Amino acid sequence: MLAELNGGKLDNQAVLQEKTMQAMERYSVSIHPDIPGVGYGFESSFPNFNNGQFVIDKSGAGSGFQSQQWLLPEQKTGLFIALNSAKDARKMRSLLFQSFMDHYFPKPVTSPPSYMNTLKSELQYLEGTYSDLRLPAWHYEVEATHGGLLVTDAYGVHELKQLKDLLFIDDTGRLAAFKKDDKGRIAYFEYNKADSWSERLPDVKLYADVPPDSPYAKDIRYLRQQGLLEREDPLNFNPEQPITRAQFMGWLIPTFGIKLSEEPIMFKDTRNSPYAAEIQTALEGGVITGMPKGTFEPNRSITRQEAAVILSRLLQLGLGIMPSAKVQLKGQTDAWALDGVQHIVASGYYGPEVTPDADGAFDYRSRQPMLRQEAAAMIHRYP
């Protein structure tokens, strides 16, 4: 950090050339001129707390830890935090940075923003589903309103008001923007996930056997928009049929945005499966362990508790998202699956098939086979 703030030198020894540091400290790409972008590794994770200062930062996360560094090159100032827990880590990082900036670099007094009085019909061309380019599972649902937008993501529902063409702001001061492609079509969106943009997913038709008023229709459409069903029947979804263990892995693993394994297939009974690479990738990542005697049983229906454990492991190992709350469960759940089911139910990664009773207890129906429509709801609603 000291070298970065001193033109690449530490104790008069050049670690990096000054011109290299200057290049690293510039934003190279931005979705909108009013929004800080990204450079050679650095970005701007909490721009609404910059208080008019030029800030670059970089965060890191893994299983059980998170860290972040902020640099204010013009002020020769830096800040670093490391946490040995993923629970509420983003909230802690944002509160630390906000408090630090408000104390040492308070926000200048400015006039309140002036909002555009745009008609709902004039903003409907922005509506759609936008999927993150790094983590496809992270997605936004954008809906037009009078004068702004409603944006739904993993954090909840946000009301955005329009400031300029393609530029919006929420009630915390966080900016959001859209970008057109070279043909003038709305293609990208950026809001509250700083490390990448989201791309607009194509509009798709529902399957012949999925009525528009089905409580799972939106979930199933999302899977088709993400391209997760291209290896299946293009006409029928068979929503109430159980999903196999192989199919579940084939739907889930691509949403994590990692390159599929090219290593030899380890499970002998998956070598001819169309989802062999997804299963192998999950094995190498520690998400699955398989069955005794080196098998995976790809064609067996996956139980709801098996699916919950797999998704819980993926969240913990891949994103460092640990179980943060517990709910009251009823019904039968095997001991080995209890933590995973708790994690998924507490996070709300399920469809309308799961509801609390009058005492607030949930019957996840853990030992029952997971239906295809239920798997669609689970994948649509995480992370």
CATH number corresponding to 120-200? 2.40.128.50
User: pLDDT value at position 338?
Assistant: 96
In single-letter form, the type of residue at position 36 comes to P
Q: What sign results for the dihedral spanned by CA atoms 33, 39, 45, 48? A: negative
Does 89 score more than 80 pLDDT? no
Query: What's the pLDDT tens digit per position in 9-68?
Result: 999 899 999 999 999 998 889 999 999 888 888 998 888 899 999 999 998 877 678 899
Tell me the mean pLDDT in the region 134-151: 96
Tell me the mean pLDDT in the region 324-336: 93
Does 87 score more than 70 pLDDT? no
Query: What's the pLDDT tens digit per position in 283-324?
Result: 999 999 999 888 999 999 999 999 999 999 999 888 777 787
Does 331 score more than 70 pLDDT? yes
Query: What's the pLDDT tens digit per position in 226-274?
Result: 999 999 999 999 999 999 999 999 999 999 999 999 999 999 999 999 9
- pTM reported for the whole predicted model: 0.88
User: pLDDT value at position 91?
Assistant: 82
Which residues of the chain form beta strands (DSSP E)?
Answer: 9-10, 13-14, 56-62, 65-72, 77-83, 128-132, 139-145, 148-153, 156-164, 167-169, 175-180, 186-190, 198-200, 329-330, 362-363
User: pLDDT value at position 132?
Assistant: 96
Does 108 score more than 80 pLDDT? yes
Burial status of residue 346 (CB atoms within 10 A of its CB: 0-12, 13-18, 19 or more): middle
User: pLDDT value at position 86?
Assistant: 61
What is the pLDDT confidence band of residue 325, given thresholds at 50, 70 and 90? Answer: confident
Does 277 score more than 90 pLDDT? yes
What is the pLDDT confidence band of residue 136, given thresholds at 50, 70 and 90? Answer: very high
Query: What's the pLDDT tens digit per position in 339-372?
Result: 999 999 999 999 999 999 999 999 999 999 999 9
Tell me the mean pLDDT in the region 124-129: 97
Mean pLDDT of the chain: 94
Query: What's the pLDDT tens digit per position in 196-206?
Result: 899 999 999 99
Buried b (16+ CB within 10 A) or exposed e, 171-198: eeebbbbbbeeeeeebbbbbbbbbebbb
Domain extent listing, the chain: 4-104, 120-200, 217-381
3-state secondary structure of 328: coil
The pairing of strands 186-190 and 128-132 is unpaired
Query: What's the pLDDT tens digit per position in 145-160?
Result: 999 999 999 989 999 9
Does 336 score more than 80 pLDDT? yes
